[in-house]
């Protein structure tokens, strides 16, 4: 029998568990360099994670700032060696979802469920088409599929980590991921990805 | 595994998101301005303190044994090598229906991972040996003939997933060969769904979900995570011509590295003996902690029992304890029949899982699961500490 020899390897860079534990220890000692190291490594990923939920760069920036301020104060709740990427992504995602809930309560007029604020186009003059093909396509996915794609592509988590965050079986996560990819493949032509 | 489409899509999507990213230096200034001074910690980081909770609950197995038999109280560490631990950990038993925290000689009970817990910080070594893992003992032999076809299929995870309708955690109850159909027929206990599944796989060359060699036939008593497809209302194993993902009794999962999504976990290379000249998987097996696969289980499994679950367990224990008291003098056949009737009666009232009831004649013991999933057992034969 011939089998596929390819072995999946995590392509994600970032801090090792040991480095992250070390950064947390420094935070607990009141040393801001610990937080700075985490911010430099994961700041953009956290921003992306939040942005993929709230869809507003302005809100995402606020939430990301709050995230790191909160991280400074809750670092002692971190359980070392337990998968820091998942821990960070779960906190960021929860903060973003909380923000959306608050905003939804406040935005009574927004009856069709659309967000009041949409990403500013001023940075995107040359990429409107791209935004429509990928971001908009992802937005058309069913909620769980969209979350899986965002956690995989933007938060750069493994399937196993995603399964734990979403509290869904790994098999369901990988299967839904494949389904989502199939849908995206149908609505995004290859040439748009060049 | 990523197709080029997947790579390009991810890159494009990340690119779009990064266009919204703010000035990171300015944002840091803002964050830093919001930080309060904190005094040096008094608390140390706890390594893996939470990790085993669910597994420990899962290991809480209860055996009820007849009056007059000695009861053994096992420590968690005795779970792994139950046969020798029985003799080493014996204490004098008390009265009827004594509860024990582990099960002796029960292929279905030991889901905990004491050996994993005892490893430094719970990390896997680079390499492990198949022989050092603990699989359930096969409780019976199947009647499989030697079958060896030329295997032509490639295992490709994405293709397997595209055919998979559901994953199931199963324990193999029986395996038989149907000569007329040239097929292997399984009776599988679906652990989470508490149902029995009957699945047949035809022998062939590995294409179209056929089984090309009996080296990939599931073993009786062993526990697997199987990808199942559904066709015309019947389930079939997707890509049966490969070693299936198997759970050990001490908390590991063994799989071949074609499952690339599993390889994202912390894994160790698993040295396996070659199973015949056409075994193309023996040098590509991997092992990880079973909990990393997280199939079908929510994270709240370690939160303990509800009051109702505790009450239900107590009801079952009382019923069995009473029955044990009255059945001491019965011949073995009658005790077996009586225990079976009692368990099915309890199952009909929802106190235990109906399809979890299983009698292991060799060890003279019924095993079952309480409604909350905890394992239990009734020992029919006198307890023999020297029994192997």
Averaged pLDDT score across all residues of chain B: 71
Q: Is residue A62 part of a domain?
A: yes
Domain boundary among A70, A85, A110: A110
Res B206: pLDDT: 79
Backbone φ/ψ region at B71: left (φ over 0), alpha (ψ -120 to 50), beta? beta
Instruction: Give the confidence band of B369 by pLDDT, cuts at 50, 70, 90.
Output: confident
A90 and A38 within one domain? yes
Instruction: Give the confidence band of A132 by pLDDT, cuts at 50, 70, 90.
Output: low
Q: Which of B6, B260, B280 sits opposite A2 (nearest CB)?
A: B280
Q: Is the pLDDT of residue B240 over 90?
A: yes
Contact across the interface for B18 and A44, Cβ inside 8 Å: yes
Res B113: pLDDT: 26
Angle between helices B4-18 and A170-187 (to 10 degrees): 80
What is the distance in angstroms between the Cα of B19 and the nearest Cα belonging to chain A? 7
Q: Are A172 and B305 in contact (CB under 8 A)?
A: no
Does A136 contact chain B (CB < 8 Å)? no
Does A29 contact chain B (CB < 8 Å)? yes
Which CATH number goes with the domain that contains A32? Answer: 1.10.1740.10
Which CATH number goes with the domain that contains A159? Answer: 1.10.10.10
Does A141 contact chain B (CB < 8 Å)? no
How much of chain A exceeds pLDDT 90, in percent?
27
Q: What is the pLDDT of residues B260-272, one digit of tens each?
A: 878 877 888 999 8
Q: Is residue A144 part of a domain?
A: yes
Q: What is the CA radius of gyration of chain A?
A: 18
A-chain residues near B152 (CB < 8 A)? 1-2
Q: Which of A27, A30, A48 sits opposite B39 (nearest CB)?
A: A30
Is the entire prediction scored with pTM above 0.80?
no
Task: Locate B355 and state its tokens.
Answer: 């399809």
List, as one string, the DSSP characters of B300-360.
GGGS---HHHHHHHHHHHHHHHHHHHHHTTS-HHHHHHHHHHHHHHHHHTTSB-GGG-EEE
A96 and A156 within one domain? no
B-chain residues near A191 (CB < 8 A)? none
Q: Identify which of A5-19, A28-42, B223-237 has the greatest average pLDDT.
A: A28-42
Give A104 or A54, the one with higher predicted confidence.
A54
Task: Locate A79 and state its tokens.
Answer: 């359980």
CB pairs under 8 A between A and B: 215
Does A77 contact chain B (CB < 8 Å)? no
Q: Is residue A6 part of a domain?
A: no
Give A126 or A98, the one with higher predicted confidence.
A98
Does B131 contact chain A (CB < 8 Å)? no
- The stretch B81-86 carries a mean pLDDT of 28
Does B87 contact chain A (CB < 8 Å)? no
Task: Locate B227 and state its tokens.
Answer: 């990808």
ipTM for this model:
0.78
Q: What is the pLDDT of residues B125-182, one digit of tens each?
A: 888 888 888 887 776 677 788 887 777 778 888 788 878 877 888 889 889 999 898 9
Contact across the interface for A193 and B212, Cβ inside 8 Å: no
Each as own residue / partner, the long-range contacts of residues B321-324 (CB below 8 Å, 24 or more positions apart, any chain) are: B321/B64, B321/B96, B321/B97, B324/B64, B324/B65, B324/B66, B324/B67, B324/B96, B324/B97, B324/B378
A134 and A96 within one domain? no
Res B79: pLDDT: 26
Tell me how many domains chain A contains.
2
Q: What is the CA radius of gyration of chain B?
A: 24
Chain B (167-226) residues lying within 8 Å, Cβ to Cβ, of chain A:
167, 206, 212-213, 225
Q: Is residue A67 part of a domain?
A: yes
Q: Is B127 buried (19+), middle (13-18) or exposed (0-12) by CB count in 10 A? A: exposed
Q: Break chain B into its structural domains and give their ranges.
A: 53-113+305-379, 127-293
Determine the structural domain holding residue A51 and report its residue range.
Answer: 13-110
Res B64: pLDDT: 53
Contact across the interface for B18 and A4, Cβ inside 8 Å: no
Res B304: pLDDT: 58
- The stretch B206-213 carries a mean pLDDT of 84
What is the distance in angstroms between the Cα of A113 and the nearest Cα belonging to chain B? 22
Which residue of chain B is at minimal alpha-carbon distance from A12?
B264
């Amino acid at each position: 029998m011939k089998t596929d020899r390819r072995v999946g390897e995590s392509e994600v860079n970032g801090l090792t568990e040991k480095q992250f534990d070390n950064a947390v220890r420094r935070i607990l000692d009141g040393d801001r360099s610990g937080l700075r190291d985490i911010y430099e490594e994961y700041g953009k990923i956290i921003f992306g994670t939040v942005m993929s939920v709230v869809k507003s760069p302005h809100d995402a920036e606020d939430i990301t700032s709050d995230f790191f301020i909160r991280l400074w104060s809750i670092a002692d709740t971190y359980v070392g060696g337990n998968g820091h990427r998942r821990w960070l992504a779960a906190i960021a995602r929860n903060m973003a979802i909380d923000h959306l809930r608050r905003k939804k309560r406040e935005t009574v007029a927004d009856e069709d469920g659309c967000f009041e604020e949409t990403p500013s186009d001023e940075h995107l003059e040359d990429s409107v088409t791209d935004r429509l093909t990928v971001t908009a396509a992802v937005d058309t996915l069913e909620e769980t599929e969209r979350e899986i794609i965002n956690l995989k592509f933007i938060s750069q988590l493994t399937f196993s980590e995603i399964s734990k965050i979403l509290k869904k079986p790994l098999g369901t996560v990988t299967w839904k991921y494949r389904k989502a990819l199939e849908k995206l493949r149908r609505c995004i032509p290859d040439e748009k990805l060049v | 595994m990523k197709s080029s489409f997947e790579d390009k899509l991810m890159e494009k999507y990340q690119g779009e998101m990064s266009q919204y990213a703010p000035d990171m230096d300015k944002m840091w200034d803002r964050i830093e301005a919001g930080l309060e001074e904190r005094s040096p910690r008094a608390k140390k980081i706890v390594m893996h303190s939470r990790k085993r909770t669910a597994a420990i609950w899962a290991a809480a197995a209860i055996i009820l044994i007849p009056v007059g038999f000695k009861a053994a109280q096992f420590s968690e560490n005795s779970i792994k090598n139950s046969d020798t631990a029985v003799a080493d950990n014996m204490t004098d038993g008390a009265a009827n229906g004594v509860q024990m925290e582990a099960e002796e000689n029960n292929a279905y009970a030991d889901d905990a991972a004491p050996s994993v817990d005892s490893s430094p910080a719970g990390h896997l070594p680079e390499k492990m040996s198949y022989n050092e893992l603990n699989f359930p003992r096969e409780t019976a032999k199947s009647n499989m003939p030697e079958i060896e076809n030329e295997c032509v299929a490639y295992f490709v995870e994405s293709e397997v997933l595209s055919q998979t309708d559901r994953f199931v955690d199963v324990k193999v109850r029986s395996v038989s060969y149907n000569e007329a159909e040239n097929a292997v027929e399984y009776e599988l206990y679906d652990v989470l769904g508490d149902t029995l599944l009957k699945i047949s796989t035809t022998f062939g060359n590995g294409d179209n979900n056929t089984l090309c060699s009996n080296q990939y036939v599931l073993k009786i008593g062993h526990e697997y995570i199987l990808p199942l497809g559904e066709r015309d209302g019947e389930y079939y194993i997707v890509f049966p011509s490969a070693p299936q993902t198997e759970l050990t009794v001490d908390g590991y999962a063994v799989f071949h590295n074609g499952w690339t999504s599993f390889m994202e976990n912390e894994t160790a290379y698993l040295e396996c003996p070659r199973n015949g000249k056409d075994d193309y998987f023996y040098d590509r097996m991997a092992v990880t902690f079973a909990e990393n696969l997280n199939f079908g289980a929510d994270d709240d499994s370690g939160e303990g029992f509800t009051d109702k679950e505790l009450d239900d367990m107590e009801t079952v224990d009382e019923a069995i304890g009473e029955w044990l008291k009255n059945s001491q003098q019965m011949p073995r056949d009658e005790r077996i029949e009586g225990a079976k009737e009692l368990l099915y009666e309890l199952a009909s009232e929802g106190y235990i899982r109906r399809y979890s009831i299983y009698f292991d004649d060799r060890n003279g013991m019924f095993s079952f699961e309480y409604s909350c999933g905890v394992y239990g057992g009734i020992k029919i034969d006198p307890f023999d500490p020297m029994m192997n």
